Structure 1
Amino acid sequence: MRHYDLVVVGAGTGNMLLGDELARLRTAVVEPDRFGGTCLNRGCIPSKMFVLAADAARGARASARLGVHASVDHVDWTAIRDRIFHRIDPLHDSALTYRRNNGIDVYTEEGRFVAPKVLEVGNERITADTFVISVGSRPVVPDIPGLDSVAYHTSDTIMRIDEVPASLAVIGGGFIAAEFSHVFGAFGSDVTIVQRGPRLLTGEDEQISARFTELASRRHRVLLDAAVTSVEPSPEGVTLTVSCPDGEHVVRAAALLVSVGRRPNTDRLDAAAGGLELDEHGHITTDSAYRTSVPGVWALGDVANHFQLKHMANAESRVVRHNVLHPQDLHTLPYKITPHAVFTDPQIASAGLTEQEARRRGIEYLVSVHDYAATAYGWALEDTTSFVKVLANPHDRMILGAHIIGTQAATLIQPLIQAMTLNLTVDRIARDVLYIHPALTEVVEQALLAL
């Protein structure tokens, strides 16, 4: 067996771990797929590049409200797709070559543990003093009768199709469903969303979720509290039988996107054989320093946490890099909150407690909701549906939660994230900071002043 100082299993965020500080270690990377992982190849980055094109198409069609009468003559799907992947796809080969040229062994077959700290890769077995596990997650494929008889897509495949389908059925109502419904709806598909819950994006603050569901229902056919009972091929493409509170519905579409969640890849890794303790969802359990149940084995990213957020995995990789180098001086993540955004239309961003969480936990709070329409830039946008919502503790004046639906929500929320992280009171961030007029940031300022 070949022995290393360090083996990194998974070259998504795991590849980012390998900075100059670790160059002295004899290192191997095990990656059977593509360097860059989900985010670069089939997740955050290409999907947001598609969203930008979709936003442009939606913006042109909606510009009449501003007195600009524009139309979209043609959406060149192939040009959009190829612009994205012609930029992304070469990065795998360059990353692999770079690692090998700098003395790192790269294994391109799948690795499975056969014992603690013994990994079988193809016909070889390798060991190491230190392992970092960052093998990510993959889409869940639900057990729906007939699903295996039709051609369907997940987020792994939908972005590489050859043409925009005339119609698209989407099973699921979370981040992925919201983003791709926006993309394909903007490009001309007739979209039907089948969601088992009472609203779309049910993990968001209820007020945000309700507003988004209302707006999405204006663009798409949305079936709520719905369950797909069967799927079968049809001349159009696929036919779904859907059970709804008002009876059975039939949904016919040219293409089907399944987006009901993701699962960690610990089964493919055979983590249990490696002595790694798993939680009830199949994630590798770690302590706050990202140590696993096996000494010398660390885990980070989707395989170890439930957030499925690249910015969280990036932060974890910085902590793990330090801890691998300085095991007597362990660091943990300093962040109290984990913000996220949904790049749909309208954009959504959130950090901290939702109002329903505060109620459920018996936490006292004050709440302020401020509409974009009540600010000068909101007037310019002719925006009548977007808002900022902020929750605060009435005693210590700290922000408990922030939720935004509307243009540039993911950017607007950043000063609120910083205030929550740096323990700034509502009073300080509202009154001790100048907000540029008439920028859209005034909607944040006004929400804080109302608190």
Structure 2
Amino acid sequence: MSEFDYDLFVIGAGSGGVRCARMASTYGAKVAVAEEYRVGGTCVIRGCVPKKLMVYASKFAHDFEDSAGFGWSVDEPSFDWSKLISRKDAEIDRLNGLYIKNLERNNVEIIQTRAEIVGPNSVRLLGENRTVSARHILIATGGVPNELHVPGKELMITSNEVFHLEEKPDRVVVVGAGYIALEFACIFHGLGSEVTVLYRGDEILRGFDEDIRTTLHEEMEKRGITIHCHDEVDELTKTDDGIRVKTTAEREIMADQVLCAIGRSPNSNGLGLETAGVEISANGAIKVDEHNRTNVDHIFAVGDVIDRVTLTPVAIREGAALAETFFNGNPTTVDYENIATAVFTQPEIGTVGMTEAEARVAHENLDIYLAKFRPMKNTLAGNDEKMLMKVIVDADNDKVLGCHILGPDSGEMSQLLGIAIKMGATKADFDATMAVHPTAAEELVTMKEPTSRIRKGA
């Protein structure tokens, strides 16, 4: 008989926690998961999945316009916000149910309450007013939206509330210019809202390649989205006509909704970490080693709460590695290099590897290949939206260091490019690959001469 109630107790039923729980159970561990909201985590419940469904919905208006160039005649289209939200909610309910069934099928106990660590091997279940013991404790509580502390801040919504609006706002101000902010700016614009983006920095989408950032800015403004850099909210006031947004650059903008999307922080408050002696960073991130182990024996953390790479597939990989290491006797770590990712703006972004700025710091000599063109579909449509493809190469060994794409289906391309770059593909490997014609992706294997050469000391 074990001295503990559970071999593994997981706090948080998001992607990383669920994956670790299921795998640990299949390896013979007695596992429980505590979740105070819904099973599936941010990505499934109020993140990537519902957002992508709304992205799909928002693209149709643009497609209706383009179809005329191909001979289609579409009657005046109309959009029903309540129907979209209802269908989206039904899909999220379905996925939530699947997550629950998969946990139950793997003999993982689900406890629907908030949990708090009260000792190195003890967890208090607040909703049930009892304490359980566990040989290992995993914290997988994800992240929470950051708030902007200005007068009238209560008039703003975050990415938590945006999925549950009862009506589509006609005028939206988006505060922030990271991928969440810009994706929702494009969603609302595609669904017919007037959209303004406020960003205090120099250029949108900080951390991405500079050519991608500037080109996305241009294309979003061409579509009709207003972007103000070097500006941020100063005060919000409720009026009869909506919400008056006063900015630090002395603008006044009227809105029906103001979406605050200025990043996310680790969801580590109120978990009893101080009581247990778990070390955290200044921003609340739980400090872990390469095996996701905290400074306290038998307490671990994965996913957004450690603020290492805040992506769903990364959390899943971390949870799997933890289960392999401590429940299957197979020490496993996660490789964080060359992680492909996508931004579902309009146009879309797919990227993997180093940006040009990063490559300039890490490598002596570079060859940069850059192509900017109008995709074939846009020609008959009369659409002048441009596509951008950029390949960054180490000129000393021909290895591809990074690839960045802006345009239709670039997220799908980045997944496959991620395989090639992870394997160490060279520009010669790209060149030796036969083109698929006619596609936009063929540009990746037909760019023969670099558009620029960067040589240190030259």
Q: C-alpha displacement at 1:334, in angstroms? A: 3.5
Q: C-alpha displacement at 1:416, in angstroms? A: 2.6
State the superposition RMSD in angstroms: 2.3
Residue identity (%): 27
Output the CA distance in 2 between the equivalents of 1:79 and 1:243.
Answer: 38
Selected match of 1:278 from 280, 289, 298: 280
Q: C-alpha displacement at 1:419, in angstroms? A: 1.9
**Cα deviations across residues 108-140 of structure 1 (Å, max 9, x unaligned)?**
221122222322111112221112221101111
C-alpha spacing 1:2/1:318, structure 2 compared with 1 (3 Å): closer
Aligned to 2:435: 435
Aligned to 2:242: 237
Q: C-alpha displacement at 1:39, in angstroms? A: 0.5
Aligned to 1:143: 149
Selected match of 2:65 from 61, 65, 79: 61
Q: Does the Cα contact within 8 Å between 2:23 and 2:323 map onto a contact in 1? A: no
Q: Secondary structure at the match of 1:73?
A: coil
Q: Which one is further off, 336-345 or 389-398?
A: 336-345
Give the letter for the 1:114 counterpart: V
Give the letter for the 1:188 counterpart: G
Output the CA distance in 2 between the equivalents of 1:343 and 1:326.
Answer: 37
Output the CA distance in 1 between the equivalents of 2:63 and 2:76.
Answer: 10
Q: Which one is further off, 71-80 or 249-258?
A: 71-80
Aligned to 1:156: 160
C-alpha spacing 1:384/1:220, structure 2 compared with 1 (3 Å): closer
Selected match of 2:78 from 61, 67, 74: 74
Aligned to 1:398: 399
Aligned to 1:19: 22
Q: C-alpha displacement at 1:223, in angstroms? A: 1.3
C-alpha spacing 1:103/1:414, structure 2 compared with 1 (3 Å): closer
Whether 1:107 aligns to 2:111 is yes
Provide the aligned length of Structure 1 versus Structure 2: 443
Give the letter for the 2:191 counterpart: F
Whether 1:34 aligns to 2:35 is no
Whether 1:202 aligns to 2:206 is yes
C-alpha spacing 1:20/1:301, structure 2 compared with 1 (3 Å): closer
Aligned to 2:455: none
C-alpha spacing 1:234/1:378, structure 2 compared with 1 (3 Å): closer
Aligned to 1:179: 183
TM-score, normalization: structure 2? Answer: 0.90
Q: Secondary structure at the match of 1:334?
A: coil
Selected match of 1:307 from 309, 317, 321: 309
Whether 1:444 aligns to 2:447 is no
Output the CA distance in 1 between the equivalents of 2:273 and 2:149.
Answer: 24
Q: Secondary structure at the match of 1:17?
A: helix
Q: Does the Cα contact within 8 Å between 1:335 and 1:421 map onto a contact in 2? A: no
Q: Which runs of 5+ in 2 are unaligned?
A: 452-458
TM-score, normalization: structure 1? Answer: 0.92
Q: Does the Cα contact within 8 Å between 1:388 and 1:447 map onto a contact in 2? A: no
C-alpha spacing 1:348/1:98, structure 2 compared with 1 (3 Å): closer
Q: Does the Cα contact within 8 Å between 1:372 and 1:378 map onto a contact in 2? A: no
Selected match of 1:223 from 218, 221, 228: 228
Q: Secondary structure at the match of 1:89?
A: helix
Q: C-alpha displacement at 1:168, in angstroms? A: 0.7
Q: Does the Cα contact within 8 Å between 1:377 and 1:439 map onto a contact in 2? A: no
C-alpha spacing 1:126/1:363, structure 2 compared with 1 (3 Å): farther
C-alpha spacing 1:101/1:204, structure 2 compared with 1 (3 Å): closer
Q: Which one is further off, 391-400 or 87-96?
A: 87-96
Selected match of 1:166 from 152, 164, 170: 170
Output the CA distance in 1 between the equivalents of 2:200 and 2:19.
Answer: 37
Output the CA distance in 2 between the equivalents of 1:332 and 1:449.
Answer: 39
Aligned to 1:126: 132
Aligned to 1:289: 291
**Cα deviations across residues 255-289 of structure 1 (Å, max 9, x unaligned)?**
11110010111113232322222123211111222
C-alpha spacing 1:103/1:69, structure 2 compared with 1 (3 Å): closer
**Cα deviations across residues 223-273 of structure 1 (Å, max 9, x unaligned)?**
1110211111111221111012xxx10011011111001011111323232
Output the CA distance in 1 between the equivalents of 2:447 and 2:146.
Answer: 39
Output the CA distance in 1 between the equivalents of 2:178 and 2:194.
Answer: 19
C-alpha spacing 1:380/1:292, structure 2 compared with 1 (3 Å): farther
Q: Does the Cα contact within 8 Å between 2:13 and 2:35 map onto a contact in 1? A: yes
Q: Secondary structure at the match of 1:279?
A: coil
Output the CA distance in 2 between the equivalents of 1:157 and 1:265.
Answer: 17
Give the letter for the 1:142 counterpart: L
Q: Secondary structure at the match of 1:266?
A: coil
Q: C-alpha displacement at 1:19, in angstroms? A: 3.2
Output the CA distance in 2 between the equivalents of 1:450 and 1:64.
Answer: 37
Aligned to 1:7: 9
**Cα deviations across residues 411-448 of structure 1 (Å, max 9, x unaligned)?**
122333222211121101321x2232112221211236
Give the letter for the 1:16 counterpart: R
Aligned to 1:334: 335
Q: C-alpha displacement at 1:294, in angstroms? A: 1.8
Q: Does the Cα contact within 8 Å between 1:412 and 1:444 map onto a contact in 2? A: no
Q: C-alpha displacement at 1:339, in angstroms? A: 2.0
Which of the pair has the greater relative contact order for Cα pairs under 8 Å at 6+ separation?
2
Q: Does the Cα contact within 8 Å between 1:57 and 1:72 map onto a contact in 2? A: no
Output the CA distance in 2 between the equivalents of 1:133 and 1:439.
Answer: 45
**Cα deviations across residues 298-335 of structure 1 (Å, max 9, x unaligned)?**
211101134221121122222112112145x4111235
Output the CA distance in 1 between the equivalents of 2:450 and 2:74.
Answer: 38
C-alpha spacing 1:73/1:354, structure 2 compared with 1 (3 Å): same
Output the CA distance in 2 between the equivalents of 1:9 and 1:351.
Answer: 31
Q: Does the Cα contact within 8 Å between 2:5 and 2:133 map onto a contact in 1? A: yes
Q: Secondary structure at the match of 1:395?
A: coil
Q: Which one is further off, 274-283 or 133-142?
A: 274-283
C-alpha spacing 1:177/1:88, structure 2 compared with 1 (3 Å): same
Q: Secondary structure at the match of 2:151?
A: coil
